[in-house]
Amino acid sequence: MTPGPEAATNVLPLKTDEDVVRLRKQVREQLVALGFSLIEQTKMITAASELARNTLRYGGGGEAHINQVANEGRRGLSLSFIDQGPGIEDVNLALTDGYTSGGGLGLGLSGAKRLADDFVIDTAPGRGTTVKIAKWKIF
């Protein structure tokens, strides 16, 4: 298996609590295969766990896409969390530490953003939410 920019997308459902555990396991396997350090693995898996829970709790379930990626000689792992839920009205507010609409700690989105290298969110009311994060290997 030689993953490159054309490597197949690994799609995982996010419908149950157990799916979140399965996602963490898959993400770890891919990070290990790419040779990430233990600290980088831990940060990215934690970010993935936060975003997967958001997809499940606030997005009403959805799916995660896992991709090994390459860019300008760098290699990394990209994760997308996609739901068709209610979407987020005020993204800046949702990215504020401690803000929650659902009784959580309000660290999921903001924490995931800090733990990943790249963070892109695409959402609007009634249009669902897609959050894409990436971690790049440091040489």
Partner 1 sequence: MERIPILRMGRLLLVTIQVDMHDRLAMTLQDDLTNRIVNDRATGVLIDISALDIVDSFIGRMISNTAAMAKILDARTVLVGMQPAVAITLVELGLTLEGVSTALNVELGIKLLQQDNR
Task: By CB under 8 A, name the one of 3, 61, 86, 111 that touches partner 1.
Answer: 111
- Among 21-29, 70-78, 84-92, 123-131, which window interacts with partner 1 (CB under 8 A)? 21-29
User: According to the binding rule CB under 8 A, does residue 84 interact with partner 1?
Assistant: no
According to DSSP, residue 91 is labeled H
Q: How far apart are CA 42 and CA 24, in angstroms?
A: 10
Q: What is the dihedral of CA 31, 32, 37, 38, to 10 degrees?
A: 100
Task: By CB under 8 A, name the one of 4, 6, 8, 38 that touches partner 1.
Answer: 38
Task: State whether residue 55 is helix, strand or coil.
Answer: helix
Task: By CB under 8 A, name the one of 32, 33, 93, 105 that touches partner 1.
Answer: 105
Task: By CB under 8 A, name the one of 11, 114, 118, 124 that touches partner 1.
Answer: 114
How many chain residues bind partner 1 (CB under 8 A)?
26
Q: How far apart are CA 63 and CA 39, in angstroms?
A: 26
User: Which is nearest to 88 in space by CA: 77, 79, 99, 78?
Assistant: 99
Q: How far apart are CA 26 and CA 111, in angstroms?
A: 21
Residue 109 in tokens? 């989105």
Task: By CB under 8 A, name the one of 12, 14, 31, 50 that touches partner 1.
Answer: 50
Give residues in contact with partner 1 (CB under 8 A).
17-18, 20-21, 24-25, 28, 38-39, 41-43, 45-46, 49-50, 53, 97, 104-105, 107-108, 110-111, 114-115
